[in-house]
Amino acid sequence: MTPMLKQYGEWKDQYPDCLLLFRMGDFFELFFDDAVTASEVLDITLTARDQDKAIPMAGVPHHALDAYMGRLVAAGYRVAVCDQVTEPDGRTLVERRVVRVVTPGTYVPQESDGDGRLAAVAMNGDTSSIALLSAGTGLLEAGTFPADEALSLLFSFRPGELLVPRGQEADLSRRIVELMAEGGARPMIVPRERGEFSPQFASSWLCGRWGLSSLRAMGVEDDDPASGAAAAALRYLEETQFGGADHVHGIRPLLPEGMLILDQTTQMNLELVDGGVSLYSVLNRCRTPMGRRLLGAWITHPLVRLGEIEFRQSCIDAMVRDGPLLRSLSDALSGCRDMERALGRLSLKVGNPRDLGAIRDTLNALPGILEMLGREDLGALRSIFDEAPDLSNLRGLLSRALSDELPRAVGAGGVIRSGFDASLDESRDAISNAEENLRAFESSERERTGIRVRVGINKVFGYYIEVGRSYADRVPDDYVRRQTVSGGERFVNEALKDIERRVFRAEHEIGEREDALYRELVGAVLDRSMECQLASRAIASLDVLRSLAEAARDNSYVRPLMDGSRTFAVRGARHPVVERSLGVLPFTPNDIVLDPDSGEGCIAILTGPNMAGKSTYLRTAALVALMAHMGSFVPAESAHIGLLDRIFTRIGARDELSRGRSTFMVEMVETANILRHVTKRSLVILDEIGRGTSTYDGMSIAWAVVEFLGLHVEGKLKALFATHYHELTNMVLPGLVNLSMAVEESGDGIRFLHRVVTGPANRSYGVEVARLAGVPNLVVRRSQEILSGFEESSSKSKEGLGEISRKYAQKELFFDVEREGVIERLAMSDPDRMTPMEALGLVSSLRDKSRRILGLG
pLDDT tens across 582-604, in order?
A: 888 899 999 999 988 776 678 99
User: DSSP of 293-318, one letter per residue?
Assistant: HHHHHHHHS-B--HHHHHHHHHHHHH
- pLDDT score at 688: 84
* CB-CB contact of 635 with 579 (8 Å): yes
Judged against a pLDDT cut of 50, whether residue 657 lies above it is answered with no
419 versus 801: the higher-pLDDT residue is 419
What integer is the mean pLDDT of 659-678? 78
- pLDDT score at 52: 74
Going by pLDDT thresholds of 50, 70 and 90, the confidence category of residue 653 is: low
Q: Note the helical H segments in 335-482.
A: 339-347, 353-372, 379-382, 392-401, 422-432, 434-449
- pLDDT score at 585: 87
Going by pLDDT thresholds of 50, 70 and 90, the confidence category of residue 803 is: low
Lowest mean pLDDT among 159-173, 342-356, 366-380, 808-822: 808-822
- pLDDT score at 379: 84
Distance CA 517, CA 515 (A): 6
Q: Which amino acid is at 561?
A: L
pTM: 0.83
- pLDDT score at 648: 92
Distance CA 382, CA 230 (A): 32
What integer is the mean pLDDT of 502-528? 91
Largest CA distance in the chain: 126
Q: Note the helical H segments in 118-224.
A: 147-157, 169-181, 199-210
What integer is the mean pLDDT of 115-122? 90
Angle at 830 (CA atoms; ends 825, 835), nearest 5 degrees: 110
Tens-digit pLDDT profile for residues 712-760:
877 778 999 998 888 888 888 888 999 999 988 776 667 888 899 999 8
What integer is the mean pLDDT of 461-474? 87
Judged against a pLDDT cut of 60, whether residue 139 lies above it is answered with yes
What integer is the mean pLDDT of 647-657? 68
Of 370, 133, 375, 111, the closest CA to residue 233 belongs to 133
* Residue count of the chain: 857
Dihedral sign for Cα 573, 575, 576, 581, please. Answer: negative
Round the average pLDDT of the chain to a whole number and report it: 86
Nearest-10 Cα torsion for 618, 619, 620, 625? 100
- pLDDT score at 792: 64
User: DSSP of 233-267, one letter per residue?
Assistant: HHHHHHHHTTT--TT----EE--GGGB-EE-HHHH
Going by pLDDT thresholds of 50, 70 and 90, the confidence category of residue 280 is: very high
Q: Highest mean pLDDT: which of 187-201, 616-630, 765-779?
A: 616-630
Q: Highest mean pLDDT: which of 113-122, 213-222, 432-441, 826-835?
A: 213-222
- pLDDT score at 813: 44
Going by pLDDT thresholds of 50, 70 and 90, the confidence category of residue 311 is: very high
Judged against a pLDDT cut of 50, whether residue 526 lies above it is answered with yes
User: DSSP of 663-727, one letter per residue?
Assistant: HHHHHHHHHHHHHHH--TTEEEEEESTTTTS-HHHHHHHHHHHHHHHHHSSTT--EEEEE-S-GG
Going by pLDDT thresholds of 50, 70 and 90, the confidence category of residue 404 is: very high
Of 295, 246, 264, 184, the closest CA to residue 549 belongs to 295
- pLDDT score at 554: 95
Going by pLDDT thresholds of 50, 70 and 90, the confidence category of residue 384 is: very high
Distance CA 814, CA 824 (A): 16
Judged against a pLDDT cut of 60, whether residue 643 lies above it is answered with yes
What integer is the mean pLDDT of 784-796? 62
617 versus 734: the higher-pLDDT residue is 617
Q: Which amino acid is at 195?
A: G
Judged against a pLDDT cut of 80, whether residue 244 lies above it is answered with no
Distance CA 591, CA 571 (A): 4
What integer is the mean pLDDT of 692-717? 82
Judged against a pLDDT cut of 80, whether residue 690 lies above it is answered with no
Going by pLDDT thresholds of 50, 70 and 90, the confidence category of residue 606 is: very high
- pLDDT score at 710: 85
CA atoms within 13 A on the CB side of 818: 16
413 versus 778: the higher-pLDDT residue is 413
| Element (DSSP H or E) covering residue 47 | strand 47-48
- pLDDT score at 111: 66
Of 720, 508, 694, the closest CA to residue 594 belongs to 720
DSSP 402: B
- pLDDT score at 812: 47
Judged against a pLDDT cut of 60, whether residue 390 lies above it is answered with yes
- pLDDT score at 775: 76
- pLDDT score at 655: 44
Q: Note the helical H segments in 631-662.
A: none
